[in-house]
Amino acid sequence: MASNGRIWRVKIKNSIGNYVTFAGVKEESLTFGNKAIDITDKQSDGYRYQLARGGQSADLSCSGVAIDNDGYHIIKRAVRDNTFVELLMESEYDRLLGSFHISNYSEDAAHDGAVNFTASFSSTAAYTYQIPFQVVANGVLDSGATFTRSSTATYFGSDGLLKTAAVNEARNEFDPVTGENLGLLVEEQRTNLAKHSAEFDNVAWVGVDATISANAALSPDNVAAGDEIIASGTPSTPKAVYQQGMGTLSGSLTVSVYVKKNTHRWVQLFLAGDTNGVANFDLDAGDCYLIDGTSCSMEPVGSAGGGNWYRITMSCVASSASGIYIALANSASSSRFEATSSTGSFYVWGAQVEAGAFPTSYIPTAASAVTRSADLPKMQNGAERNADGYTVVVECIRGNETISGSYNFSLNDDSVGERIVSFISGTTPTINVRTGNVSQGNIVTGAVVAAGERFKIALSVVDGRIAASANGSAAVSLVSTLPAVTERQIGYDTGTSFLNGQVANFTEYPRALSDARLVELSTL
């Protein structure tokens, strides 16, 4: 018996098609295609090699303790009659099954109803080898997955700069300040209504007691495209640049722009022609102050563009706005159109006006509004899926959406009728099961996840039972008729509900793991 191997359970298929236990074994090497593979480490290259070569020859040598039971007698008859057996070897993480010939078998004398044995098995046909399968690993989709998005899209790369992904190119996003790999960015469709979003010297923008110096600073994409807004003239209400001509703006609305201090500290965002939507931003302290609206934020973007850039955001419910202002402000409490005698300047780049209660990634525009399409990563079930039971563990960063939403994954048949879907209800990670287009109920976990926070879900499915744990909370289960699912949708559900955040990792295990393991695997 190997001293540093993995524990395996060996099962044999009986005459009525059920796998019955033969023995427990411990071994550290197997031979696939005449190549010995080290399997001590479940993440080793050997596992990848085995998966890639599935269907070729496999030779297994193992030793262990067998109990005098149905499986034992099947093995003994196969040795006597020189016939093959249908073999299943499984650990907590892996499954190997196929038709095998017993090329060698020996055992010691029985002791307390058990025997010590040594056996060698050789495959007689194609075998199936299932391992923990990473659909997403550190933000990178497996090559067998598909990704569609019918437009370009922006994201922050590993160098901290704003990048543009091509049509149908996935976005593995990094924190521009810390360099942390956040994961695969998945967002809903949005439209930037602001025209000439990075050209404040264009006639689409109008200066009020302010002049615009084009291309005066490096922008967050490290191009000399940041424009300078310079206060001029006598005290006025306000000193600003503004844009109209976007149509009537009503309902949930989010305005954002990248800004950087030059000599002036305070910046204000507000809506034109509306009584809603005002926020002030402190470019020294990095704080925002909501005067009227639903939320505001300041997100630093690290060393991009020479450093000290922020993306400032104001969300509100508009009634009949006609445009937006980006103005000099006097203080944290400055009101809309407040008179100012302030002088100085700040830099601007990348304005965005979008329908919605939270900001999404920047969408560059020119002479007209531009729509960024939704991200749709998914992967069909394949040989790696164990239909008899499996576990998925998904690690995400929740987006800025603060109401019920943030769908982090859906196992479905590309419809809402058959699915196991994971989402945030308020602040609670929740699983809904739907079979035959009828809800089977919810699994409500004990975790709490705020906007922008990292979280993990571990979900097991087997024999009409689904259990889940989030962020190490106690596992909660649901007895349910299982839906017939054929694919994994990553960061969204049926193309209508989205995470609007990042999927860091998505791993599927070919076993339904215990509730205790779900708690362990979901712990951050």
For residues 120 and 280, give the distance between their C-alpha atoms in angstroms, rounded to a whole number: 74
pLDDT of 470 > 60? The answer is: yes
pLDDT of 53 > 80? The answer is: no
Q: What is the mean pLDDT of residues 256-283?
A: 96
Q: What is the mean pLDDT of residues 226-250?
A: 90
For residues 67 and 224, give the distance between their C-alpha atoms in angstroms, rounded to a whole number: 75
The string of pLDDT tens digits covering residues 273-331 is: 898 999 999 999 999 999 999 999 999 999 988 999 999 999 999 999 999 999 999 99
Tokens representing 152 are: 């370009």
What's residue 271's pLDDT?
Answer: 95
The greatest distance separating any two alpha carbons of the chain, rounded to the nearest whole angstrom, comes to: 104
Q: 154 phi and psi, to 5 degrees?
A: -105, 160
pLDDT of 234 > 80? The answer is: no
pLDDT of 39 > 70? The answer is: no
Tokens representing 81 are: 């009659």
* Cβ(352)–Cβ(362) below 8 Å: yes
The string of pLDDT tens digits covering residues 143-189 is: 999 999 999 999 999 999 999 999 999 999 999 999 999 999 999 99
Tokens representing 361 are: 């990634």
The string of pLDDT tens digits covering residues 394-444 is: 999 998 765 557 899 999 999 989 999 999 988 999 999 999 999 999 999
What's residue 125's pLDDT?
Answer: 75
Edge-to-edge order in the sheet of strand 428-435: 146-148, 376-380, 487-490, 405-412, 419-425, 428-435, 438-444
Helix (H) or strand (E) holding 52: helix 45-52
Supply the DSSP string of 261-287, one letter for each residue.
Answer: ESS--EEEEEEET-SS-EEEEETTTTE
Between 45 and 31, residue with greater pLDDT: 31
Q: Band the pLDDT of 27: cuts 50, 70, 90.
A: low
What's residue 117's pLDDT?
Answer: 87
Q: What is the mean pLDDT of residues 256-278?
A: 95
The string of pLDDT tens digits covering residues 209-219 is: 999 999 999 99
What's residue 238's pLDDT?
Answer: 87
pLDDT of 114 > 90? The answer is: no
pLDDT of 522 > 70? The answer is: yes
What's residue 74's pLDDT?
Answer: 93
Q: In the chain, pLDDT over 90 holds for what percent of residues?
A: 69
Q: Band the pLDDT of 341: cuts 50, 70, 90.
A: confident
- What is the pTM assigned to this prediction? 0.87
Tokens representing 334 are: 């400055």
* Cβ(452)–Cβ(400) below 8 Å: yes
For residues 11 and 13, give the distance between their C-alpha atoms in angstroms, rounded to a whole number: 7
What does the mean pLDDT of the chain come to? 89
pLDDT of 1 > 60? The answer is: no
Beta strands 58-67; 84-90: pairing state: unpaired
* Cβ(459)–Cβ(377) below 8 Å: no
Cα separations (Å) of 89 from 27, 278, 491?
Answer: 11, 64, 33
pLDDT of 461 > 60? The answer is: yes
What's residue 111's pLDDT?
Answer: 65
Is cis: bond before 238, omega within 30 of 0? Answer: yes
Between 184 and 3, residue with greater pLDDT: 184
